[in-house]
A and B are shown apart, each in its own frame.
Chain A
Amino acid sequence: MNGTTETPRPKQRLTLLWISLAALGASLLVLRAAVAAQADPTGEATRSLWTTVGVWTAALLTLGILSFLFRDNPFYKICESILIGVSAAYWMVNAFWTSLVPNLFAKLAPTLVRDTMLPSLPESPTPIADFVLACVPLLLGIMLLCRLVPSVGWISSWPIAMVIGVTAGLKLVSSIESDFMAQVGATVQPALAFDASGSFAFWATVGALVGIIGVLSVLTYFFFSVEHKGAVGKTARLGIWFLMITFGGAFGLTVMGRITLLAQRFEFLFRDWLGIGG
């Protein structure tokens, strides 16, 4: 111990500054929201208690999620847990009402479902056939749940095999037609382009050449049976450039999407919650 008084280090001072800024900002926001006219500024709409509660809840949850940018904190943890819990519950309820009820229960016991769950359920002209056909997914579903019992877990392999087989069968034809044959057809273009009047189209030709060079060079990069050196190596290198530019474009589009999401949340906070910038 040297007996000197400890002074806050620069990093601690910076943290204090950030906490002060965050607290001040949050206080100002809440104060502004509390006095904001959340009703229609024209005065035509009436105040609604539940809309106000909804707007405040959404605003506080938004701020809670955004608070992670400052640092991990309990407010963020609460909002994150609520989001995960609500999402899980939503998907469970959604699957029950959109899949199990209309596609299974309504076929197995239509009268009961009509009386208790779906009054608008139409009469089926073939109830017996519906019942028999619905027994197949019911049985497969039960077999799938066998996975929860270790001693009979192997039974779940059968419905999984069926799901994989059906999915493969469903996708095979469409993928070959739409993602392979049609794509090959769209790629095979004349290198020299001419417009409707028959005159040379410069930029369309440039586009076609870029397409041809891009496809061939990228395919060369993924052709691993030949060592990538010499002319093959240079072509593969060009293919990497095409790939990098493509990935850059995709990343740019992703950034654009994320900025839009943030802009929409800010619009909500400003207009619906704080009542400014409307």
Chain B
Amino acid sequence: MSDSPLARLNNLDRRWIFLAMGLSIAIPILLKLRFPEYPGPMARATFNAVEAVPEGSTVLLSFDYDPASAAELQPMASALVHHCAARKLKIVFMALWPLGKKQADGTIDRVLKEFHPGYQYGTDYVQLGFQSGNEGVIKLMATNVPEQYKTDSSGTALTSLPLVAGVKDLSAFKLVASISAGYPGAKEWVQYGNGAMPEAFSIVGGSTGVQVSQLLPYYPKQMEGMLVAVKGAAEYEMLVEQKYPVAKPEVIGQGRVRMGPQLVAHLLMIALIVLGNLAMIAGRSRGGAR
């Protein structure tokens, strides 16, 4: 007596599943499948938090991730920098992760210099770079930024950069945004930045899917906006691009591009879960197991 096709699924070589998953991601990329995004409340809150900052104010963008998480976080970082520049906000870049500085440099080249060539270093934006010390960096910046950062990333004294020459502590910034892949990141910005001066500035965060569950409790009281992984990035990109379109949508559109494979892969996973359960039920009923 042969097993039913469903029961035979129990013995399916798992490599067929790997192959199906690979194809479900590869085909949407090759076909450039895109699906409409509907911005959720968290992406809207992030967008509104940036919109609420008065024009000409200074914001602090902390790039707390490295290339390993760039697939999820770079789309939201690009959109955030474009959003801030489109609103004519002054931007101070920094990093709590060693390679975060490199990610910020790349974003400056691809977004700031490409779409906002009028932005001048020293007066419109400054790159402070990476400092070791994890949450200690935030804790010291809360009271004394020049003590933590005596120079920018290229060794120029902060006193000779007009944008940051007068900055004393974190209250100089109207908004702090942490694009974060883990420790140290957005959680530490809430604990040591917002905790030290809760009324001084708003905090928004973007995080990887893995880290989101740690940050959700902070939204919306302690963190005004939050971008949840590539889905949040895609929603935020949509809001930003609707109001501030760019000449090269592919730069501020990576998140939406990556949502195509997400949808197909998730459909495949749901189908596999359903099939797996049906196969288990079929196997049990045939074998008389409970």
Contacts and interface: CB of A to CB of B under 8 A. Distances in A.
Interface string B118-144: 000000000000111001100100000
B165 interface: no
Given A98-B130, A178-B194, A277-B32, A263 B71 contact: yes
A186 B221 contact: yes
Contacts of A183: 217
A266 B71 contact: no
Residue picked from B15, B139, B150, most chain A C-beta under 10 Å: B15
Nearest to A264: B71
Contacts of B257: 267
B25 A253 contact: no
Given A259-B261, A259-B265, A18 B15 contact: yes
A227 interface: no
Contacts of A185: 221
B191 A259 contact: no
B213 A178 contact: no
Interface stretch (B56-64, B85-93, B204-212, B276-284): B204-212
Interface string A236-277: 000000000010011001111101111111110010000011
B170 interface: no
Interface string A108-123: 0000000000011010
A57 interface: no
Interface stretch (B1-9, B45-53, B222-230): B222-230
Interface stretch (B105-113, B151-159, B171-179): B151-159
Main secondary structure of the interface of B (DSSP, over half): helix
Residue picked from A69, A255, A264, most chain B C-beta under 10 Å: A264
Contacts of B25: 259, 262-263, 266
A182 B195 CA distance: 9
B98 interface: yes
A257 B208 contact: yes
B150 A122 contact: yes
B195 A177 contact: yes
A71 to B, nearest CB: 8
Contacts of B130: 98
Interface in A4-40: 14, 18
A103 B131 CA distance: 10
Contacts of A266: 22, 25-26, 29, 261
A260 B258 CA distance: 7
A178 B190 contact: yes
A182 B221 CA distance: 8
Given A99-B132, A178-B222, A256 B29 contact: no
